[in-house]
Structure 1
């Protein structure tokens, strides 16, 4: 690991100022960044820890009925405090990694990193969430821009994520057993104006919406409505854990399971 300084701001304004320094990098729960540093794959001169900023932590509901989660909120807190408001989201958070990861990792850190196999991107995209930063609000449909790529600008911090609460929702994940990342994960959410289906773990382009499934389920919210539908294996991740065709098959299987469980 390379030598670096650590700053621990207690406000968003101070964090933004610290991130303006040369080669500064934000540090959330560190569940991805710290292993990256250990492998010497990143060389920031300054780490700006966001864990001491109280204003970006916690779970609440706003006047529009959305579940609002501070960007610095840990997975374990989401699992506990969102359960009464958005059970599918809370259940998703409760199965991220292991207890050590859930008690250190944050929702903002996960969304900022946008790992192609992470769970929260599927929840955000599947819910049509709004990602709030220190400067603006970004719709989930515009936020995710490819593997490890987002709409965030340099030095921009996720301060909150606003989730519209659906009528029914479920997340189903086929785990890679060693890492507990999603080999394929599907988040299905039924709203009054239609159904959203977001898939993580499968595509080389990261999280994506399965529009064909959305159209079918918006007409008939049942697992049977998906019969005969599939995604192509081309463009899917192919590695030692599974081929692209295998992942494509899992997308259909996990979507059906999510719909059935949502009932």
Structure 2
């Protein structure tokens, strides 16, 4: 999700000067959220996501039909039927869950979210079937996933645009939490906002919580990952890096004669 109410997109320069230009823009943003406001936002994280889903219901995010193309592990085996178990972090209202259940009959999917309202939307969907999925509320920064999922029982975990909503100080503990429910050899599939993404460059002064960590106008958070920082987080937790790269996409607004570069990080990590 892009931040709300931001200044116009920054026109795209050449690929060669993108990083230098981004550093220059970010170097001017030195104002951080005051400490009292920082703590208030930390304490109201779940509430702000509930309010987000109250406003937008099931209409904000598009269904993710691209995931099996980017991550072959999500595709059906094509051979003798085998059962795999997956956990989707930050399931929202089911935009990943239901398209994947449609294309892969071999998967059982656990789906969790910080927002009670979002999980209620998932369960209210006519496609929700307890024989194929289980949705539950969980704050992965605080609550053990083993309260809802047997230890070391999962083949896969998807973390798509979810760890960016976790405060940097809580990321290591969150990854350790994932590790408890993943089988040895199990894989975390990761995609999220990358360093110098256009969304990062468009935050207004006063939105910065910490280095590369921002608050949107609706009180939700967004962190922008470097591949180096992401690799460090997972390696320290005992994961092997299978893939870790930037994905850069140019988005063109022809009406405004502007283009901007969206930068994402896509990665796969295997539990050793």
| Superposition TM-score, scaled by structure 2 size | 0.28
Give the number of the structure whose residues are more often strand, by fraction.
2
Q: Which has the higher contact order (CA 8 A, sep 6+)?
A: 2
| Superposition TM-score, scaled by structure 1 size | 0.28
